[in-house]
Structure 1
């Protein structure tokens, strides 16, 4: 029973101490309000906070590196020139030789051949019109619908013989062959000199 009384007394002592502490806190708060201490604390807390931006300090760029040129290469000087030894050659004297120059006679002058004149085919070859009109159209060219114009040139000699047949304007090989064959059948007449004759042939599929 004494233990219970002691325990109850301890609890009552703690309660009295708590009440005393509470009363003391209220007194301090009231004193602070009266003296304006709390107002100063509020003013300090309510002051704006200043912020500063600290700029990064830029370091100066490093100095450029200077490249040291490599040392010059050592070039070995060329060897000294040594002239070759002189060789004495014994030259035998040559006997005097008399050369005989034969003068050949100059070649005789040959004048160039005169250029043949151009003559009309009807005058040099009177039957050329008849042969051209009766010329048969090449069968293979007719079947393949091949047309074209051919111009044959040849030379008529002083005796009326025809030679040097050539094509001034050509077409299909079948038409060229037919035109040359027809021109070689012409009976031409000499004109007293060589003349050039040109004969046109027209091949047209109707």
Structure 2
């Protein structure tokens, strides 16, 4: 009995279900007609910005230095430059000429004796031997390094020993200072010579003479 009284009638249950269905329909209509419309109206208010992104171009690859050693290049050989041609001027040939036989000047023991009568030999002439003096055998004097030439006339005296004891210039080779040097060298050359004196009756006598000394340059 109690079980039957506790159950609800079927009409009342259907009424509750209908109320629930109506509430759902009302809620759906509100959503569709009002709220959904607002959502649709609000969303487009934000503008859509579209940007075109340029593709990034990768940088070109950098060439890396090779770790291989660079070949060593030998420097080019120096250019051959021929040395300048030097013309060497040969010194002129020097010729010194001396008189082989000096001219004998009058002097003591050189003049011819006047015949005098003597004991046992009336009118006899004294015995004489000629002097021997050759300047060409005295060597060649050293020619100075000067551009001068000429002939020097030298007067000399050879004593009884055959030595040239005195010499002087009778005629110079020139007027310049260089010619004066030639004159002095000619005197020294004559003084360096030695000869053999002549004799009269077996006794040596001095000799006085003059000789030319010639200095010449030959190209």
Same fold (TM over 0.5): no
Which structure: greater helix fraction?
1
Which structure: greater strand fraction?
2
With normalisation by structure 1, the TM-score equals 0.36
With normalisation by structure 2, the TM-score equals 0.34
